[in-house]
Amino acid sequence: MKVNLFVLLVCLFVACKKAPQKIEKENNQEISLVQKIEKAHHKKEFLSHHAIQFSAIIQFSGNEIFNGVMTLATDSTKALLEYADGSKVYVVKDKVYHSPNMVSNRPIRFDAYTWQYFFLFPYKLSDEGTFWSKESKQNLNGDMCNVQTLSFKKGIGDSSDDWYIVYSDMQTNRLKALAYIVTFGKTKEKAEKNPHAIRYSDYKMLEGIPVASTWSFSGWDTREGLTKVMGNASLSNFKFVSVEDTYFKAPENFLLK
């Protein structure tokens, strides 16, 4: 009986010693915050589709910036923006083509890349030329979030001096907000005097993939977080589409911006 009790105690001791090792091993394999966000947004499933299409209305300071339909290649190489007035903008990698009737002083390249980038952001976190800071936790207007800063290698995109502070939900790992600067047409120093933010909300499920249907644009600073609301976007009618490459080919009379 004594031998059996001793054996039992030894077995219990070994079992207790092994349990923490298993937990430690699982912790060692914990994925990065970037990978958690990508997983939460079902990046693999999203990229398995050719393109996504949705309606969007974007407003700033009471002015309508965009009203129409966007069709975006899920790998971000191509896009078609169709405005309610019939104007169109085609994006093929670093080339932007627009309808001849569009006002020449309109920031067409900015519109062509910015809105699609905000939408595709959860799927571009691991793009070539991205640099990430260490992970931290911060309070964003009353909500504790996981936080990490994104910057870019020189020469990436039209504005490689841009940076983003990425706020993600601590429970779902979905994007909650982005603080950012816009260096398009200005210096980094000037842009950093007026940072902005976009808040994502009202997530809808599209074939099991969460997409934010409401965006809120505001000011931002390190102490107050999101400040005065400056604009908003309403997205709807989401659907995945399969189109030929010619769908993203601009007509011959379109102008290169």
Tokens of 32: 């990065």
149 occurs within a structural domain: yes
Q: What is the pTM of this model?
A: 0.85
Instruction: Give me the number of domains the chain comprises.
Output: 1
* Per-residue pLDDT reduced to its tens digit, 91-129: 999 999 999 999 877 889 989 999 999 999 999 999 988
5 occurs within a structural domain: no
The dihedral formed by the CA atoms of 81, 212, 59 and 97, expressed in degrees to the nearest 10: -20
Average pLDDT, the chain: 87
Tokens of 140: 């964003």
CATH number of 120's domain: 2.50.20.10
47 occurs within a structural domain: yes
What integer pLDDT is reported at residue 6 of this predicted model?
35
How sure is the predictor about 215, in pLDDT bands with cuts at 50, 70 and 90?
very high
24 occurs within a structural domain: no
| Structural contact between residues 51 and 74, judged by C-beta atoms closer than 8 angstroms | yes
| Structural contact between residues 142 and 127, judged by C-beta atoms closer than 8 angstroms | no
230 occurs within a structural domain: yes
* 88/109 Cα distance (integer angstroms): 12
What integer pLDDT is reported at residue 27 of this predicted model?
47
14 occurs within a structural domain: no
How sure is the predictor about 21, in pLDDT bands with cuts at 50, 70 and 90?
very low
What integer pLDDT is reported at residue 160 of this predicted model?
66
Please give the full DSSP string across 111-138, using - where no structure is assigned.
HHHHHHHHHHGGG-TT-TTEEE---EEE
What integer pLDDT is reported at residue 225 of this predicted model?
96
What integer pLDDT is reported at residue 185 of this predicted model?
76
| Structural contact between residues 40 and 173, judged by C-beta atoms closer than 8 angstroms | yes
| Residue 53, domain extent | 33-256
How sure is the predictor about 188, in pLDDT bands with cuts at 50, 70 and 90?
confident
67 occurs within a structural domain: yes
Residue 163: pLDDT above 80?
yes
60 occurs within a structural domain: yes
